[in-house]
Amino acid sequence: MQEAKLKIKERILMGSGPCNVHPRVLNAMSQQTIGHLDEQFAQISKEIKYMLQRIFQTKNELTLAISGSGSAGMETCMVNLLEPEDEVLICINGVFGNRLADMAERCQAKVIRVEVPMGEIIKPEHIEQALKTCQPKLITIVHAETSSGVLQPLEEIGKIAKEANILFVVDAVASFSGIEIKMDDWNIDAIYAATQKCLGAPPGMSPISFSQKAIDVILKRKTKVQSWLLDVLILKDLMTAGKRSHAYTSPVSNTYALYEALLMVMEEGLENRYERHQEMHILLEDSLKKTGFEFIVKPAYKLPFVNVIKIPKGIDDVVFRKELKQNYGIEIAGGLGKYVGKVWRIGLMGEGCREDSIQLLLNAMQSILKKCK
């Protein structure tokens, strides 16, 4: 019988995630699998918790990484904090704000939408106006809306939530380790992220953190959490030293990868990492503008690691991206929502956030565009 061999063509991933993974992280995944109740695994989990706390800038004890993508983290926050008939204020300026609303509705919560067009930010006055007519249990918002390339300011909205005694929940799926997050200082009560974007690890885990205020709300629930798998009180006990139970099997190899990726962030230094993402964004932006490309987001709210540009007139989106991938091995993302067929989303995340990757992309784009003229 002929041996089957998996062959994956090399790609330079410059879309909205996942991004390329450093060989150190891939090598970590290849280490021997151990039991998820092994004391070595417990120690790895403790160190992961410490590094996550540093990136989130929080002292929260309930800080860990769960099995699943960023959407699993999103759902964890929704199912734990919401009960039927609870009011929730969902801030929407792109695709992932709508996903939050969908999940809240599945929890049978009453959703109040604060919505602005894609490419714009939610302003504090939008929240203040909405609170005149409702008393939500929580406010949710996306920090880095990758569907539109918008970086959402959080500090003022966090202050409003604290003063009104409302839980503040933040989607940091794309922003985690790519730009500063101040969970405690910004009065964030629950936050979730993902491993496959700026962190530069494979998909499959979602870092999360809950404040004591959020845990107190969960403890006072009148109904069981809608999901057994994502019940954070079960997860809390599972990850606590001396209480490790056989709730379910942790993704051991993915945890190795997460550990190594976090360690590389610590070695680089958070400020240096944030600066690298910003510097590479400026390099890409300046180069694209010189060749006539237009950005759709105002400079003050532009994400450094997801750059959204208008597709030139006469260029077929799908054909262009297909040639870019097949002939140059480079992947960028198309538009979502109202931007389908109108924009390209170029990611500069983790290991992809390097000058050589940018130059390869620019050269390939120019070659394809010359053929199209």
Same domain, 296 and 308: yes
Token pair of 19 as six digits? 């991004």
CB-CB neighbours of 353 under 10 Å: 26
pLDDT at 44: 93
Same domain, 355 and 250: no
User: What are the two backbone dihedrals, phi and then psi, of residue 54, each rounded to the nearest 5 degrees?
Assistant: -65, -40
Report the candidate in 275, 299, 347 with the shortest Cα–Cα distance to residue 151. 299
Q: Which of helix, strand or coil describes residue 275?
A: helix
pLDDT at 250: 83
Question: Is the entire prediction scored with pTM above 0.75?
Answer: yes
- Where among 211, 232, 266 does a domain terminate? 266
Residues 17 and 199 sit within 8 Å (Cβ to Cβ): no
Integer Cα distance of 67 and 229 in angstroms: 9
| Amino acid identity for residue 273 in this structure | R
Same domain, 238 and 299: no
Report the candidate in 63, 101, 69 with the shortest Cα–Cα distance to residue 82. 101
Q: How far is CA 18 from CA 96, 192, 302, 346, in A?
A: 16, 16, 20, 12
Same domain, 155 and 28: yes
Query: Which residues, other chains included, contact 258 with Cβ-Cβ below 8 Å and sequence gap of 6+?
Result: 48, 65, 195, 199, 201, 205, 207
Strands 87-92 and 110-115: parallel
- H or E segment and range at residue 265: helix 252-268
Cross-strand pairs, 114 = 91
Residue 125 belongs to a domain: yes
| Domain coverage including residue 113 | 23-266
Residues 207 and 65 sit within 8 Å (Cβ to Cβ): yes
Residue 71 belongs to a domain: yes
pLDDT tens, residue order, the chain (373 aa): 456 677 778 899 999 989 999 999 999 999 998 877 788 888 999 999 999 999 999 999 999 999 999 999 999 999 999 999 999 999 999 989 999 999 999 999 999 999 999 999 999 999 999 999 999 999 999 999 999 999 999 999 999 999 999 999 999 999 999 999 999 999 999 999 999 999 999 999 999 999 999 999 999 999 999 998 899 988 776 655 445 555 678 889 999 999 999 999 999 999 999 999 999 999 999 999 998 999 999 889 999 999 999 999 999 999 999 999 999 999 999 999 889 999 999 999 988 999 999 999 999 999 998 887 6
Integer Cα distance of 275 and 98 in angstroms: 31
Same domain, 251 and 274: no
Token pair of 135 as six digits? 């008393």
Same domain, 192 and 299: no
Residues 135 and 97 sit within 8 Å (Cβ to Cβ): no
Same domain, 191 and 337: no
Same domain, 242 and 93: yes
pLDDT at 241: 46
**What sign has the CA pseudo-torsion 202, 205, 211, 213?**
positive
Integer Cα distance of 168 and 140 in angstroms: 6
Residues 141 and 186 sit within 8 Å (Cβ to Cβ): no
| DSSP per-residue string spanning 4-63 | P-------EE-SSS-----HHHHHHHTSPP--TTSHHHHHHHHHHHHHHHHHHT---SEE
| DSSP per-residue string spanning 308-359 | EEEPPTT--HHHHHHHHHHHH-EE-EE--GGGTTTEEEEE--GGG-SHHHHH
Residue 35 belongs to a domain: yes
Place of tokens 């964004």: 281
How many structural domains comprise the chain?
2
Place of tokens 């101040």: 182
pLDDT at 245: 54
Residue 1 belongs to a domain: no
**At 332, which CATH number?**
3.90.1150.10
- Where among 249, 266, 283 does a domain terminate? 266
| Amino acid identity for residue 332 in this structure | I
Integer Cα distance of 345 and 333 in angstroms: 5
